[in-house]
């Protein structure tokens, strides 16, 4: 019965959209005959294809050649979200944006994006809506608060949350989204400002497999690789483990630079030696020189790294797994936050070690 109800809802949504668009859209937009047949004949197999295609738009920017592009929403225009949305605009997608601070939308609107009054407004306009938000509280508020995403979702729409949150938060949002008839995919990213700008992020996805396949061309514009990990919660868990390791590595690297400097070694030489050995990592080569010069321009804010360590510790506690290295690293990031370094790059954790 649920399947029949969902099919009926999708059929009604498509019929309404075609009726609205018929007077203004030229016949050239309907080059694939199954789109119209799926509504006229109400064939279940054809209808499913039409529902997957979601809404048809008349804007010339919403299609390229014979391949129609979905209308895309993007919520949250911080360091990461701005770069990711920019890449979608440059790729020719019809992008609508929203941010709690509306001024952050202006640079993207100047590049061709549309603005929205609320997350619900964006979701109602778009086939697939992405969200890149700071923490679990923000993710929940944008999804289900006043004017939240769920109030603009419905059958044939998709919501992709690329924020870094805990598994329980992701599952809660998934349930709220699915209750509207829409599909949900969690897709936290591995990578910071530069990979976001370059379109070389790594997506760690879980949830609706069909939405994953629909969103794949968009993910491939914003990233260099993507992993489908199964049920909702697995993507969040993978991201927390990755960031737990990264935060611990940065704390240990900082200790090495501080100790070496204190006994008279040149910290720049330490960075160079590490970059040529078995423990070489791009993070050390990229961050090391700026750390030596005490420059911490934020690519990944320290407050977010500490948040991710806290969530990783909660994940470990839930399964009674000891993670003493990560726990110690978390304390260093907390000290750095107390020193007012939360908005600086996470490599500023070195300042917490220097002060000890």
Q: Can you give the CATH number for the domain in which 137 is found?
A: 3.40.50.720
Q: Evaluate if residue 2 carries a pLDDT over 60.
A: no
CA 280, 282, 285, 290 dihedral sign is negative
For residue 91, give both structure tokens.
């790729």
Q: What is the pLDDT of residue 50?
A: 34
With respect to residue 150, please indicate whether it lies within any of the assigned structural domains: yes
Residues 75 and 179 in one domain: yes
Q: How far apart are CA 255 and CA 266, in angstroms?
A: 14
Over 60: is that where the pLDDT of 31 sits? no
Q: Does residue 114 fall inside a structural domain?
A: yes
In a domain, 60, yes or no: no
Answer whether residue 173 is part of any domain: yes
What is the rounded distance in angstroms from the CA atom of residue 11 to the CA atom of residue 16? 9
Q: What are phi and psi of 192, to 5 degrees?
A: -120, -150
345/68: higher pLDDT: 345
Q: Cβ–Cβ contacts within 10 Å for residue 19, how many?
A: 10
At 67, is the pLDDT very low, low, confident or very high (cuts 50, 70, 90)?
low
Statement to judge: residues 110 and 44 lie in one domain: no
The number of beta carbons lying within 10 Å of the beta carbon of residue 356 is: 8
Q: Give the H/E segment covering residue 114.
A: strand 114-115
Active site residue 239: yes
Domain tally for the chain? 3
Q: Where are the alpha helices (DSSP H) in the chain?
A: 2-21, 34-40, 44-53, 79-90, 106-109, 119-125, 136-144, 167-178, 193-198, 209-222, 234-262, 267-275, 282-292, 302-318, 324-338, 350-354
Give the list of residues 6+ apart from residue 113 with CB closer than 8 angstroms, or none: 74, 85, 89, 95, 96, 97, 105
Of 230, 254, 279, the one marking the end of a domain is 230
* Alpha carbon 258 to its chain's center: 34
Maximal C-alpha separation, the chain: 80
Report pLDDT for 355: 76
SS3 of residue 205 by DSSP: strand
As a whole number of angstroms, the distance between CA 169 and CA 48 comes to: 30
pLDDT of residue 213: 98
Coil, helix or strand for 180?
coil
- Specify whether 122 is located in the same domain as 219: yes
Instruction: Please state, in angstroms and rounded to a whole number, the distance separating the CA atoms of residues 99 and 131.
Output: 10
Token digits of residue 189: 């990213």
What mean pLDDT, rounded, does the chain reach? Answer: 86
**Residues 214 and 241 both lie in one domain:** no
Lowest mean pLDDT among 2-11, 32-41, 143-152, 184-193: 32-41
Q: Does residue 58 lie within any of the structural domains?
A: no
Does 101 share its domain with 178? yes
Query: Does 37 share its domain with 71?
Result: no
CA distance 73 to 119: 9
Is residue 6 domain-shared with residue 134, that is, in the same domain? no
| pLDDT tier, 63 (very low <50, low <70, confident <90, very high otherwise) | very low
Summarize pLDDT for 271-302 with one digit per residue, the tens.
999 999 999 999 999 999 999 999 999 999 99
Q: Kindly report, residue by residue over 193-237, the tens digit of the pLDDT.
A: 999 999 999 999 999 999 999 999 999 999 999 999 999 999 999
Q: Per residue in 298-354, pLDDT tens? A: 999 999 999 999 999 999 999 999 999 999 999 999 999 999 999 999 999 999 999
Angle at the Cα of 196 from the Cα atoms of 216 and 71, rounded to 5 degrees = 45
Do 73 and 34 share a structural domain? no
11 occurs within a structural domain: yes
Query: What's the CATH number where 267 sits?
Result: 1.10.1040.10
Residue ending a domain, among 209, 230, 251, is 230
Question: Catalytic: which of 69, 171, 193, 239?
Answer: 239
Find the helix packing angle between 167-178 and 136-144, rounded to 10°: 10
Q: Residue range 39-65: average pLDDT?
A: 34
Question: Could you list the residue range(s) of the whole structural domain that residue 33 is in?
Answer: 1-53
Contacts for 77 with CB less than 8 Å, ≥ 6 apart:
85, 97, 99, 104, 105, 108, 132
Domain identity same for 131 and 48: no
User: If you average pLDDT over residues 172-178, what whole number do you get?
Assistant: 98
Interatomic CA distance for residues 145 and 354, integer angstroms = 42
Are both 223 and 253 inside the same structural domain? no
In-domain check, residue 59: no
**Half-sphere CA count of 42, side-chain side, radius 13 A:** 8
d(CA 350, CA 124): 45
* 26 and 106 belong to one structural domain: no
| 300 plus 216 within the same structural domain | no
Residue where a domain stops, chosen among 182, 205, 230: 230
Helix, strand, or coil (residue 223): strand
152 in a structural domain: yes
Residue 173's pLDDT band (cuts 50, 70, 90): very high
Question: Mean pLDDT lowest for which of 32-41, 59-68, 248-257?
Answer: 32-41
**pLDDT of 17 higher than 90:** no
């Amino acid at each position: 019965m649920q399947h029949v109800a969902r099919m009926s809802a999708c059929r009604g949504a498509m019929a309404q959209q075609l009726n609205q668009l018929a007077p203004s859209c030229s016949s050239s937009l309907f080059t694939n005959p199954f789109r119209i047949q799926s509504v006229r004949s109400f064939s279940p197999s054809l209808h499913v294809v039409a529902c997957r295609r979601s809404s048809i738009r008349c804007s010339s920017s919403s299609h390229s050649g014979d391949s129609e592009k979905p209308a895309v929403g993007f919520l949250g225009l911080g360091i990461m979200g701005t770069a990711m949305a920019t890449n979608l605009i440059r790729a020719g997608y019809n992008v609508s944006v929203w941010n709690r601070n509306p001024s952050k939308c202006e640079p993207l609107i100047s590049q061709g994006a549309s603005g929205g009054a609320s997350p619900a407004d964006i979701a109602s306009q778009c086939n697939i809506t992405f969200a890149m938000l700071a923490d679990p509280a923000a993710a929940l508020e944008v999804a289900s608060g006043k004017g939240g995403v769920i109030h603009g979702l419905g059958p044939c729409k998709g919501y992709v949350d690329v924020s870094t949150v805990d598994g329980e938060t992701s599952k809660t949002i998934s349930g709220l989204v699915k209750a509207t008839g829409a599909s949900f995919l969690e897709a936290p990213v591995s990578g910071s400002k530069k990979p976001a700008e370059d379109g070389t992020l790594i997506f760690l996805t879980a949830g609706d497999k069909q939405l994953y396949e629909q969103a794949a061309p968009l993910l491939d514009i914003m990233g260099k690789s993507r992993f489908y990990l199964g049920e909702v919660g697995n993507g969040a868990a993978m991201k927390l483990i990755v960031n737990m390791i990264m935060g611990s590595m940065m704390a240990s690297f900082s200790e090495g630079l501080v100790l070496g400097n204190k006994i008279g070694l040149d910290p720049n030489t330490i960075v160079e030696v590490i970059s040529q050995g078995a423990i070489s990592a791009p993070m050390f080569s990229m961050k090391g020189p700026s750390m030596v010069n005490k420059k911490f321009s934020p690519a990944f804010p320290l407050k977010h790294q500490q948040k991710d360590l806290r969530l990783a510790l909660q994940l470990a506690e839930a399964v009674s797994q000891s993670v003493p290295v990560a726990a110690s690293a978390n304390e260093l990031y907390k000290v750095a936050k107390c020193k007012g370094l939360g908005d600086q790059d996470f490599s500023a954790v070195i300042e917490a070690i220097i002060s000890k």
